[in-house]
Structure 1
């Protein structure tokens, strides 16, 4: 788990090393508040809050809190809008561990497998940046660390696809946030 006391210059906490890590970083030409709003719009990205049995919570309970379960389906590895051809679409089941609205940081850990078999920890952070042009911009940083014996299999089978997915997520967040910012 992350040590929140050791925050790096990217805004991400210092994470324990893992079997493999996926990361992405991108500067977005939009204020941090706008990017956070887009990042937290989980419904538009097929993410929903559920109970421990993966049953979706009612619409009135879809505002995330620490301890909530997050079900993400479908997960396209590698990133694509096409339907899977050979295997069924994959999913991921997470528990929210940090939701720091004031500092625009969130984190979750995997709960689909026993921790001894597969442990993942993902962080997403938004940091205000000044590129000298006077406009508010935001740097999106994300990192997920995979540990446990199953992490070796995940790395070998879909590791490159996961890494491409992180980059695609960052690019999609940039595109959508900049569109929303222009509409304001």
Structure 2
């Protein structure tokens, strides 16, 4: 049983948003949901969609949407605070990152923000799935953390820090509810 969890982070940064939740489903099932970015709008009130894009933020065709290290990832829309409804006052946020790790064998992925000088903004986001045993059964622990650094991180912490933390928690709760509790009774409509 692999129990790698989150790796050591490159820096402590200015602030972090993080979450951890146990999901009553096999890691492979949870990983498939987490990597099915096109279905995020169905269960994720925080990150409503994300896709592989070119360096100019133009989404690539469906045939080139395989997650891989080195690919650019456009994360849009991001709802802060998390919601399934369209934003009412402020427009939805977005992120543009480069995938640094895509390790499906160990159920881990990571990315960093691109497009800013490091003194202005850096981010490091990790998501991982760890197999755990609770009540004599194998389950999955989802762990995620994002570290924000640079001068803009102070403003992000002040104006969006609590919303980002709420978003991380809402995404974890949505992921927990998405996969079936018993994979033997799963149907295509539930995963």
SS at match of 2:179: helix
Measured on the aligned residues, the alpha-carbon RMSD in Å equals 1.5
CA distance in 1, matches of 2:99, 2:27: 21
SS at match of 2:18: strand
Q: Which residue pairs with 2:43 in the alignment? A: none
Q: Which residue pairs with 1:23 in the alignment? A: 18
Gaps of 5+ in 2: 41-48
CA distance in 1, matches of 2:60, 2:181: 30
Alignment of 1:85-104 (within 5 A): 85-104=88-107
Deviation at 1:66, TM superposition (A): 0.4
CA distance in 2, matches of 1:86, 1:112: 26
CA distance in 2, matches of 1:178, 1:153: 39
CA distance in 2, matches of 1:78, 1:180: 31
Deviation at 1:81, TM superposition (A): 1.4
Correspondence 1:60 to 2:55: no
CA distance in 1, matches of 2:179, 2:113: 27
Alignment of 1:79-90 (within 5 A): 79-90=82-93
Deviates more, 1:83-92 or 1:157-166: 83-92
| Number of equivalences | 175
Gaps of 5+ in 1: 1-8
Q: Which residue pairs with 1:4 in the alignment? A: none
Provide Cα deviations, 1:83-134, integer angstroms capped at 9, x if missing partner: 222222111111100011100000000114222210000000100001132x
